[in-house]
Structure 1
Amino acid sequence: MTRFLLCALLGLSLFATTSHAQSNKRELTDREDLFGWEAIGRLDIGKSGFCTGTLIAQDLVLTAAHCAIDKKTGQAYAPGEVTFRAGLSYGKSLADRKVVQIAVHPDYLKHPELSAASVRADVALMRLEQPIPYSVADPFVLFNGGVAGKEVSLASYGRGRSEAITRERSCRILQRRQGLITFNCDITFGSSGSALLAQNGPRWQILSVVSAVGTDGRQKVGFGMELAGIISELKADLRRDAPKPKAAIRRLQVGSGKSGTGAKFISSGGS
């Protein structure tokens, strides 16, 4: 069984990266570089830290559960405490949105210590205050199928590269077993919550979420989880717990709205 380092990515100090890993990464700094990657953003958590998140719908961000839980309270961050900054590059983002609702995999709270069980459940969805238009950022979809050649990619923010997305063009899946995925991508502080991407035709799609780092006895490895079924459950949680709209009743008057009698009906298509 693969051994875990007893620390999560938030607050993690990693080993020095190799020259190969450095040459395999590229910083996405201008609009042309960002094309196709606009849905990746930095999640700013108050003034204390950040993670990486990925749009999977105009108003939904996928990230790690440990990025969504306030360690002081053990509860999800309150509305407005987290901001998603799509395509952030050196202080300028394509869109900034406050997070107003969070759904965390229920099993994550049952396993507060880092373990295989906690990594399998380390997934959260965040609803944004307003949708980000498709013309600004095209959300990623979930991967479905086998991964040809086990090649994957990672795009994230991280320590020493927190001001722009850094994309690792090619890394590899090492193992998929018992709901866990291990991979050799170069992850660091801030990479938490980023999407592990697998190519399906011309597009990259989300295979997993970066949760933790460990060792297989020979090398540093990253850990993620199988997502099958999890996202639909979290979407259902968001719908169930969404704030209910306040009912408003107003009397419809005939004509100009001044006092009158009778009724005026308005069809669903307009007046």
Structure 2
Amino acid sequence: MGRMFWGALALLIAVVPAAQAQQNTALRGLGTANEALVWQAVGRLDMDARGFCTGTLIAPDLVLTAAHCVYDRRTGQAFAPADLTFRAGLRNGEAVAERAVVQIEAHRGYDPARGVEVRNIRHDVALLRLEVPIPTHVLDPFVLFRERVSQGPVSVVSYGRGRSELPSRQSVCRMFDRYQGVLLFDCDVTFGSSGAPVFTHKNGRGQIVSVISSVGQYDGRRVSFGMALPQLVAELKQQMRANATSPRAEHRRVTVTNGVSRTQRTGGAKFVRPGGS
């Protein structure tokens, strides 16, 4: 791992493709509806005309992406949920489903002030809650791969500068090393590919093993970096529950008139669950 030059890392918010290993397949745009059908739960995450990343639906109301995608690069400040829009399966201006975002949770281990370093890459994950869930009969969310990721073939679906209107897929690239929770890939990614899902096909339909965080140099070649996911996503879901806005509820009171019980409703009561979740 000493051959890695961390100072050469770059975040990939929305050009120049990375070098491909000989055994890898070429990056291809999913130009037809049939080609794109399986991958429509991957979408483009737009930041209020200030750039874009890639995101993936992992539940009807949850999108997985990179943590640095939810911060404004110019100011370092977190975006407001209203600044973000998820466009699932976007192809040539048409999305299968388009949703506003109502909650953003970047992992607590990610610090935008620290820039690109090993610790930040290892925690460069965020979850977004959609205002309106996307029903499973419209899109089938992808699931996380729960086993330890071993070296070997993976695939990536992403948007990127120069191909922002069409998802592209590299059907075979490789996870070839790991270091302190950071996974190294030789996949072909570029700006806009941040948050792109890395899939294993070990158990049939693709399962997400990582998301793309950044690129850098390793042993004289350009590579991409991600992180091991299951524990991070579990922690993000806990954050999301703890920080969720408590639902407003109707309060019912019982009155007695002429010996008859009646229930009256008054709005505005707010439930606060123990622990604030």
**Aligned length in residues:** 261
Report the alpha carbon displacement of residue 18 of structure 1 after superposing the two structures with TM: 6.2
Instruction: Give secondary structure in 2 for the equivalent of 1:233.
Output: helix
Report the alpha carbon displacement of residue 214 of structure 1 after superposing the two structures with TM: 0.5
Letter of the structure 2 residue corresponding to residue 184 of structure 1:
D
Q: What's the counterpart of residue 234 of structure 1?
A: 236
Work out whether residues 111 and 118 of structure 1, in 8 Å CA contact, stay in contact via their aligned partners in 2.
no
Report the alpha carbon displacement of residue 159 of structure 1 after superposing the two structures with TM: 1.1
Report the alpha carbon displacement of residue 146 of structure 1 after superposing the two structures with TM: 5.0
- Structure with greater proportional strand content: 2
Q: Deviations over 1:132-186 (max 9, x none)?
A: 0111111111112255760000000001111111010100112022101001000
Q: Report % sequence identity.
A: 45
Work out whether residues 253 and 260 of structure 1, in 8 Å CA contact, stay in contact via their aligned partners in 2.
no
Q: Does 1:263 align with 2:261?
A: yes
Q: What's the counterpart of residue 273 of structure 2?
A: none
Are residues 173 and 130 of structure 1, via their aligned partners in 2, closer, same or farther at CA, if it must alter by over 3 Å? same
Q: What's the counterpart of residue 153 of structure 1?
A: 155
Q: Does 1:34 align with 2:36?
A: yes
Work out whether residues 150 and 172 of structure 1, in 8 Å CA contact, stay in contact via their aligned partners in 2.
yes
Bigger Cα displacement from structure 2, 21-30 vs 176-185: 21-30
Bigger Cα displacement from structure 2, 18-27 vs 45-54: 18-27
Instruction: Give secondary structure in 1 for the equivalent of 2:13.
Output: coil
Q: Does 1:9 align with 2:12?
A: yes
Report the alpha carbon displacement of residue 107 of structure 1 after superposing the two structures with TM: 1.5
Equivalent of residue 96 in structure 2, options 94, 97, 110? 94
CA distance in 2, matches of 1:142, 1:18: 26
Matching of residues 92-241 of structure 1 within 5 Å? 92-109=94-111, 112-145=114-147, 150-241=152-243
Report the alpha carbon displacement of residue 110 of structure 1 after superposing the two structures with TM: 6.7
Are residues 246 and 174 of structure 1, via their aligned partners in 2, closer, same or farther at CA, if it must alter by over 3 Å? same
The root-mean-square deviation of aligned C-alpha atoms, in Å, is: 2.6
Bigger Cα displacement from structure 2, 27-36 vs 129-138: 27-36
Are residues 60 and 218 of structure 1, via their aligned partners in 2, closer, same or farther at CA, if it must alter by over 3 Å? same
Are residues 62 and 15 of structure 1, via their aligned partners in 2, closer, same or farther at CA, if it must alter by over 3 Å? closer
Work out whether residues 98 and 128 of structure 1, in 8 Å CA contact, stay in contact via their aligned partners in 2.
yes
CA distance in 2, matches of 1:209, 1:195: 5
Q: TM-score, normalised by structure 1?
A: 0.87
Are residues 253 and 100 of structure 1, via their aligned partners in 2, closer, same or farther at CA, if it must alter by over 3 Å? same
Are residues 239 and 95 of structure 1, via their aligned partners in 2, closer, same or farther at CA, if it must alter by over 3 Å? same
Q: Deviations over 1:108-146 (max 9, x none)?
A: 117622111110011000000010011111111111225
Work out whether residues 18 and 187 of structure 2, in 8 Å CA contact, stay in contact via their aligned partners in 1.
no
Work out whether residues 253 and 261 of structure 1, in 8 Å CA contact, stay in contact via their aligned partners in 2.
no
Work out whether residues 76 and 102 of structure 1, in 8 Å CA contact, stay in contact via their aligned partners in 2.
no
CA distance in 1, matches of 2:125, 2:258: 57
Bigger Cα displacement from structure 2, 136-145 vs 181-190: 136-145
CA distance in 2, matches of 1:229, 1:82: 25
CA distance in 2, matches of 1:118, 1:19: 27
Q: What's the counterpart of residue 268 of structure 1?
A: none
Q: Does 1:66 align with 2:103?
A: no
CA distance in 1, matches of 2:177, 2:28: 25
CA distance in 2, matches of 1:142, 1:75: 29
Q: TM-score, normalised by structure 2?
A: 0.85
Q: Which runs of 5+ in 2 are unaligned?
A: 264-277
Work out whether residues 24 and 172 of structure 2, in 8 Å CA contact, stay in contact via their aligned partners in 1.
no
CA distance in 2, matches of 1:21, 1:161: 23
Letter of the structure 1 residue corresponding to residue 205 of structure 2:
R
Bigger Cα displacement from structure 2, 34-43 vs 71-80: 71-80
Report the alpha carbon displacement of residue 22 of structure 1 after superposing the two structures with TM: 9.8
Letter of the structure 2 residue corresponding to residue 126 of structure 1:
L
Work out whether residues 64 and 123 of structure 1, in 8 Å CA contact, stay in contact via their aligned partners in 2.
yes
Letter of the structure 2 residue corresponding to residue 262 of structure 1:
V
Q: Which runs of 5+ in 1 are unaligned?
A: 266-271
Are residues 107 and 19 of structure 1, via their aligned partners in 2, closer, same or farther at CA, if it must alter by over 3 Å? closer
Letter of the structure 2 residue corresponding to residue 9 of structure 1:
L
Work out whether residues 175 and 181 of structure 1, in 8 Å CA contact, stay in contact via their aligned partners in 2.
yes
